[in-house]
């Protein structure tokens, strides 16, 4: 890997996103709109304080998963990926470039969404607020890494988009937001234990209720980060310099 090439790739990806104003606006605005809706729906009840933070951890995963899987599919189908892999660019540079670019976008998205939830919607969390952003960014990088990996199995953009419900919604159902994980049927509880989103939601839950949350949250964040690294490693196996 070469830091210069990684950085050049991240810059290029960010330039592409910047040239698409609508995507950029959607990335930043949609999480805020959803948080706002949620706060409004549960106006006057304690529910928003309970699920607001966990959802702040779910949105970046969904958004980054979708954007990355479509972006990398475009690289594969437009021939640019084949071209890139015939240059000195390493597979690691390519993947890290994407992770870096979308990680940077995730920082902006998480700052805006968290700020909106706290100051506009009045979200109240017991733990330190900056940790909300740390969890959200880690989850966003996980979304990017998973999207990179999954895009290898899509031939068309239609397929890539449908991987979202296929990969993301089961994790959403099992992550403990609808039914606490320890109350799930035993088999599902075990499954939820090997899904990364469960740990992201656990971290956000801890932040919601615990003042001294850093230790537990750090543990969950480390697990999410490990999943992201594994997804990037799996993604690098799907990038082949030689193809049939």
Alpha-carbon gap, residue 166 to 244, rounded angstroms: 28
CB-based contact 108:28 (threshold 8 Å): yes
- Among the listed residues 12, 124, 211, 218, the single contact to other proteins using CB under 8 A: 12
**Helix or strand run (H / E) with residue 39:** helix 21-41
- Site residues for other proteins, 132-161, by CB under 8 A, read none
With CA atoms as reference, report the closest residue to 57 among 170, 174, 177: 177
Q: Residue 4 or residue 186: which is nearer to other proteins going by CB?
A: 4
Q: Residue 82 or residue 189: which is nearer to other proteins going by CB?
A: 82
Alpha-carbon gap, residue 53 to 176, rounded angstroms: 13
What lies within 8 Å, CB to CB, of 9 at 6+ separation is 89, 93, 94, 96, 97, 98, 101
Q: Is 5 in the site for other proteins (CB under 8 A)?
A: yes
Q: Residue 12 or residue 155: which is nearer to other proteins going by CB?
A: 12
Q: Residue 7 or residue 28: which is nearer to other proteins going by CB?
A: 7
- Among the listed residues 25, 33, 47, 83, the single contact to other proteins using CB under 8 A: 83
Q: 60 to each of 2, 103, 119, how far by Cα in Å?
A: 28, 10, 19
- As a whole number of Å, the CA-based R_g of the chain is 18
Question: To the nearest whole angstrom, how small is the minimum distance from the Cβ of residue 68 to other proteins?
Answer: 15
Question: To the nearest whole angstrom, how small is the minimum distance from the Cβ of residue 89 to other proteins?
Answer: 5
Question: To the nearest whole angstrom, how small is the minimum distance from the Cβ of residue 139 to other proteins?
Answer: 27
- Among the listed residues 89, 105, 118, 141, the single contact to other proteins using CB under 8 A: 89
Alpha-carbon gap, residue 143 to 174, rounded angstroms: 17
Q: Please, where are the H alpha helices in 42-118?
A: 47-77, 80-85, 91-115
Q: Residue 81 or residue 168: which is nearer to other proteins going by CB?
A: 81
What are the structure tokens assigned to 59, written together? 């949105």
- Among the listed residues 46, 79, 185, 215, the single contact to other proteins using CB under 8 A: 79
Question: To the nearest whole angstrom, how small is the minimum distance from the Cβ of residue 64 to other proteins?
Answer: 18
- Among the listed residues 44, 185, 215, 244, the single contact to other proteins using CB under 8 A: 244
What are the structure tokens assigned to 69, written together? 């899987």
Alpha-carbon gap, residue 178 to 53, rounded angstroms: 14
Q: Give how many residues touch other proteins by CB under 8 A.
A: 25
Q: Is 88 in the site for other proteins (CB under 8 A)?
A: yes
Alpha-carbon gap, residue 149 to 95, rounded angstroms: 10
- Among the listed residues 1, 37, 41, 78, the single contact to other proteins using CB under 8 A: 78
Q: Is 100 in the site for other proteins (CB under 8 A)?
A: no
Residues at the interface with other proteins (CB under 8 A): 4-5, 8-9, 11-12, 15-16, 19-20, 78-80, 82-89, 241-244
């Amino acid at each position: 890997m070469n830091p210069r090439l990684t950085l050049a790739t991240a810059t290029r990806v960010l330039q592409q996103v910047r040239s698409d104003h609508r995507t950029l606006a959607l990335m930043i605005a949609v999480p805020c709109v959803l948080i706002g809706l949620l706060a409004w729906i549960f106006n006057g009840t304690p529910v928003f304080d309970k699920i607001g933070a966990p959802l702040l951890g779910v949105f970046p995963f969904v958004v980054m998963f979708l954007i990355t899987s479509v972006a990398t599919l475009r690289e594969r189908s437009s021939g640019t990926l084949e071209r890139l892999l015939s240059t000195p660019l390493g597979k690691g540079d390519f993947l890290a470039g994407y992770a870096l670019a979308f990680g940077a976008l995730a920082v902006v998205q998480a700052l805006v969404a968290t700020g909106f939830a706290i100051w506009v919607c009045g979200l109240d969390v017991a733990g330190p607020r900056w940790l909300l952003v740390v969890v959200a960014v880690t989850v966003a990088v996980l979304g990017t890494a998973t999207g990179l990996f999954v895009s290898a199995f899509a031939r068309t953009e239609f397929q890539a988009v449908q991987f979202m419900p296929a990969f993301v919604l089961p994790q959403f159902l099992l992550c403990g937001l609808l039914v606490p994980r320890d109350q799930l049927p035993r088999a599902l509880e075990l499954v939820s234990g090997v899904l990364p989103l469960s740990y992201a939601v656990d971290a956000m839950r801890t932040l919601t209720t615990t003042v001294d949350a850093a230790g537990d949250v750090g543990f969950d964040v480390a697990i999410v980060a490990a999943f992201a690294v594994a997804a990037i490693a799996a993604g690098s196996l799907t990038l082949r310099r030689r193809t049939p």
